[in-house]
Copies of this chain bind each other. A is one copy, B any other.
Amino acid sequence: MKSFFQILLLFFCIHIYAQEHPNLILTKKGVENIRKELGNIPLFDETLQKTKKEVDAEIATGIHVPIPKDMAGGYTHDRHKKNWSILQKAGVLYQILRDDSYASYVHNVLKAYAKMYPTLPLHPQTRSYARGKLFWQCLNDANWLVYVSQAYDCIYEFLTQEERDYLEKNLFIPYANFLSVDTPQFFNRIHNHSTWGNVAVGMIGLVMDNDELIKRALYGLKSDNIDPHLKDNDGGFIKSEGQKAGFLANLDTPFSPDGYYTEGPYYQRYAMYPFMIFGEALQNAKPELKIFEYKNGVLIKAVYALLNLTDADGEFFPLNDGQKGMSYYSKELVSAVDIAYHFGGNDSSLLSIASKQNIVQLDDSGLAVAKGLQQNKATPFLKKSIEFRDGSNGTEGGVGVLRSINQHFDAVMKYTAQGLSHGHYDKLSLSYYNKGNEVLQDYGLARFVNIEQKNGGGYLEENTSWAKQSISHNTIIQDETSHFNGEFEKGSAHHSEKYLFDISNPKLQIISAKEENAYPNTKLHRTLVMLEDKEDFDTPILIDMMKFASDSTHQYDMPFYYFGQIINTNFKYSSPQQLKKLGTKNGYQHLWLEGKSIIRDKRTSQITWLSNKTFYTLSTLTNANDELLLTRIGASDPNFNLRRDPAFIIRKPKTKKDIFINIIEAHGSYNPITEIAHKAFSTIKDIKAVSLAKENYIGWKIITKKGNTHRFILCTSDSKKDTSHTITLNGKSVQWIGPYVYNKVK
């Protein structure tokens, strides 16, 4: 493992030779290889043709370098965005096809930029904490340079020294300085924005062989004078005191040793392009740095983390701010998968992802992938149960994913740190998938990215008032207040603690984690068991135990955001003649109350619904005075920014301590063509809590309609594998070794 300081040392020892070009994502040798193989590797050839067609069409429209003016979605914004993409592609086409017209085109566009750039003030739109020049925010300026430095690299040797000097003096050097020394609040922090900034400066530094820029990119600005109280547009801190900056620091801090990025998969995906493309460029231009070995190979691990944080359709779990539908089909993941394959040991399972993507990067890595596919080397990418630790040292909680043996079901539990400014207040939250369909959803973000009518495509108010709040997640809420009172500073100071992640028995997999800071003097402990038992259940069932204890009485809510239509409940409920809001704040103001039941006596309450042609039943052990609420999102939402999705909320009023025990069960199917309803009823008859003399044991019993009993007991104070436990249960002594014991009795 290379550390920050080893790399630092290495860097200063490298003797720099005059470099040849291209040397970023393309290399002289790589281009030779590519040219030799042209016409032989189908997927590469197809991508090349598609790219050529796109670029040719665009070149035919002429050169468009307008004076910056518009917000995202507006003409000048979209135009400069398009330019960066076409320039990068045209540069690559020049190298691969040796057609000077592409180089001339790139040169001409760059000249137009070089002419305009020195005249530009800050962008007229003032909304960003770090305004750009070409765009309303520096982030997009950085995007531009990450791509355009690749284009410049491709035509570097096509230009005369004089032509290069002109571009560098008027465009690239001032551009890089603007993004860094002129905008430290953008450049010198731990954030996906800064990663883009660092990489932009580093990429152009590599092309120009400019040591100072490269160092600045890797290690950040030495001084920045950033106010430690300053926040960005999303409410995140700009910088905490003593925080390192630069590309390597952005690898060190937000990435855990397992490759999990603390902001969540959606933003990890976004940051993955600069991380990986700069990794590739550094590996090509400065192989001595061994960047892909940095922090035990965290860049490659990050790609696997992303691929594993997807459902069966390849869509990312929308933890924290995440737009649904984003998937490993995105261009960032095409790039990342290709680079991880080429520089990460040619793992044949990555080829099966690349095959689904059906497009490659036009460089050595894409060639390697296309060649591997041509040679039928692809093997399945099997997604198994997996845990990702959070925190730069892996000590700040994590995300656990339980997957059924057949890979149909994914249960995701989040017990991470806050996740910077994009974090949600949903400690110990759960989401659940069946064959890529959401069974229990994480709402994701409240934003229509790039849809101008919706706040210019930016975050909506409801992202704060709803999507970030605890009630919008499948987790526990005390007194209608979000975790950490919804305060970023408090949330950032804490993380949940993993208690147990045990997948050694594929038929009984466990995630268990604790959270003791979300509410004052309150301890939360959630344990998920994915149980497979073909005799009793067609598909795996998920048993969810949420233990809570406080020093005083509170109200506790446990919502489950299901989809589809209610088929039946085994409890009576009242239906209001008018719909009222469930609460007034912390997200509760966004819920309509559609039905309410007050439980008289302890019982197993069940609700069955039909979603995506599958029946689901949630069974929950309810006590007298517990309330069951049927709700729907959509209140206090005058602009219809929220989806009208339903939830089932189990409420325990005035309780000091208790346990929610819930079972989520998929059963049967409905086919609207044959009109056959198969196994439309739950197989569960009853849930019992296992009642113990000792405080530090919790457990459940499930009695199935067949008459079998499943019993599970967990020790909550000792998760060691080799501890021996003895308890007395119904007058009988029960003994076992390890944190839990499970029995099935027929």
Contacts and interface: CB of A to CB of B under 8 A. Distances in A.
Interface of A: 73, 323-327, 329-331, 448-454, 457, 565-568, 575, 577-581, 592, 594-595, 608, 610, 630, 632, 634, 637-640, 643-644, 646, 670, 672-677, 680-681
Given A575-B637, A644-B646, 20 more contacts: A73-B680, A323-B675, A330-B673, A448-B567, A448-B677, A449-B672, A450-B676, A452-B680, A453-B567, A453-B568, A453-B681, A454-B567, A566-B639, A566-B640, A575-B638, A577-B581, A578-B579, A578-B581, A579-B592, A632-B634
A677 B457 contact: yes
Contacts of A637: 575
Given A578-B578, A643-B565, A451 B330 contact: no
Nearest to A639: B566
Contacts of A453: 567-568, 608, 680-681
Contact of A324 (B581, B630, B672): B672
Contacts of A567: 448, 451, 453-454
Given A73-B677, A567-B451, A634-B594, A672 B580 contact: no
A592 B640 CA distance: 15
Contacts of A329: 673
Contacts of A643: 565
**Copies of chain A in the complex:** 2
B452 A677 contact: yes
Contacts of A452: 677, 680-681
Nearest to A579: B579
Of the candidates A324, A453, A565, A566, the one having the most CB atoms from chain B within 10 angstroms of its own CB is: A453
18 contacts: A323-B672, A325-B673, A329-B673, A448-B670, A448-B677, A450-B676, A450-B677, A451-B670, A451-B677, A452-B677, A452-B681, A453-B568, A453-B608, A565-B640, A566-B639, A566-B640, A575-B638, A630-B640
Nearest to A73: B677
Nearest to A329: B673
A461 to B, nearest CB: 14
B680 A610 contact: no
A723 B326 CA distance: 58
A578 B575 contact: no
Nearest to A632: B644
Given A640-B566, A644-B644, A331 B674 contact: yes
Contacts of A634: 594, 632
A595 B608 CA distance: 31
Contacts of A575: 637-638
Contacts of A331: 674
A594 B644 CA distance: 12
Given A578-B578, A640-B565, A673 B327 contact: yes
Nearest to A670: B451
A interface secondary structure, majority: loop
A453 B579 CA distance: 26
Nearest to A609: B640
A499 to B, nearest CB: 35
Contacts of A673: 325-327, 329-330
A628 B587 CA distance: 28
Nearest to A645: B644
Given A453-B680, A608-B453, A640-B565, A672 B577 contact: no
A630 B644 CA distance: 13
Contact of A672 (B325, B672, B676, B681): B325
A442 to B, nearest CB: 15
Nearest to A630: B640
Contacts of A327: 673
A348 to B, nearest CB: 25
B578 A580 contact: yes
Contacts of A325: 672-673
A184 to B, nearest CB: 28
A610 B451 contact: yes
Contacts of A577: 581
A263 to B, nearest CB: 17
A451 B609 CA distance: 11
Nearest to A642: B565
Contacts of A675: 323, 326, 449-450
List 4 A-B pairs, minimum CB-CB distance, nearest first.
A325-B672, A579-B579, A566-B640, A453-B568
A580 B673 CA distance: 36
Contacts of A323: 672, 675
A581 B640 CA distance: 19
A286 to B, nearest CB: 32
Given A326-B673, A331-B674, A673-B329, A680 B578 contact: no
Contacts of A448: 567, 610, 670, 677
Contacts of A640: 565-566, 630
A670 B674 CA distance: 34
A449 B675 CA distance: 6
A640 B567 CA distance: 8
A635 to B, nearest CB: 8
B451 A680 contact: yes
Contacts of A670: 448, 451
Nearest to A572: B638
A330 B674 contact: yes
Contacts of A644: 632, 644, 646
A397 to B, nearest CB: 28
Nearest to A567: B453
A307 to B, nearest CB: 15
Contacts of A578: 578-581
A324 B673 CA distance: 9
A581 to B, nearest CB: 7
A334 to B, nearest CB: 11
Contacts of A457: 677
A53 to B, nearest CB: 17
Contacts of A638: 575, 595
Nearest to A644: B644
A330 B457 CA distance: 43
A454 B323 CA distance: 35
Contacts of A454: 567-568
Nearest to A580: B578
A577 B329 CA distance: 42
A74 to B, nearest CB: 12
A522 to B, nearest CB: 32
